[in-house]
Amino acid sequence: MYPKRTAAFASAAALAGSAVLLAAPMAHADVVNVNYQCKTPIGDKSALSPIDIKGVRSGTGYKITMSWQKGVSSSPVELGKGAMNPSATIRLGGADSGTLAVSGPANQAAIPANTPIKISDLSGTYTPKKSGKVTFTAGVLTIKALGTTTTCTPTNNPQPSLTLDVAGASGGSGSGSSSSSGGGADSGGQLPRTGPEDSAIALGTLGGTVLLTGAAGALWLTRRNQAVRR
């Protein structure tokens, strides 16, 4: 009888742990078409590029990486290696507000004249100050090259490319936003992990701990009852 009770308890604990994992909120990401209007030294130009924004948990914050799937703007002359330096802002919404600055490396290869400029991945660190769902939307892109500055502004009111369910530093609902810059593109190549997923893993571990503790307790009771019978 006692072994049956132990097995039943262990099964219930395992199911509870699985339910916690399934119920945990996940991040939501979309590739969003952004219509840029660019102010260049030789006049106004427009460009449409799909934008992808990903978030990877990094310490107490998130490394946010912004990627362009198509080139934007162009130069009437060739841009040699390292001649073009991009940066951008990402608009925060939902539980937070303000902007996040992202930056990345200069062009790794020469860009021919009159060719759409491929922007390298730009990244920055976002540290939430309060809990809730935060959205990340493409903002202004800035391109500096050969002593000139080109500014590209979204004109089609793009939708958020990423939504993260974050936990603030205090775990409560504080005030204020985070806007800090980061350097370099992400070369790790690993799939993005988010705060909610980390929380799900932690909760799943807790379910496993309950399972083991319950099984050990039931086993102890079984042995104790057997000892009494003797």
Cα separation, 55 vs 120, whole angstroms: 17
- Among all chains, which residue has been given the structure tokens 């200069």? 106
**21 is written with which tokens?**
């994992």
DSSP 30: -
Q: How confident is the model at residue 3, as a pLDDT?
A: 53
- 61, 141 in Cβ contact below 8 A? no
Q: Which residues does the chain have with pLDDT short of 70?
A: 1-26, 169-230
29, 137 in Cβ contact below 8 A?
Answer: no
- Residue 115, φ and ψ in degrees, nearest 5: -120, 135
Query: What is the pLDDT, as a whole number, of residue 152?
Result: 94
pLDDT of 170:
60
pLDDT of res. 183: 39
The helix (H) or strand (E) run that includes residue 148 is: strand 148-154
Give the pLDDT confidence score for residue 5 in this predicted structure.
53
What pLDDT score was predicted for residue 112? Answer: 92
d(C-alpha 224, C-alpha 230), whole Å = 10
pLDDT on residue 61: 94
Q: Retrieve residue 142's tokens.
A: 């800035």
Q: Which two tokens stand for residue 25?
A: 């909120």
Q: What is the pLDDT of residues 75-134, one digit of tens each?
A: 888 999 999 999 999 999 999 999 999 999 999 999 999 888 889 999 999 999 889 999
| Average pLDDT in the chain | 73
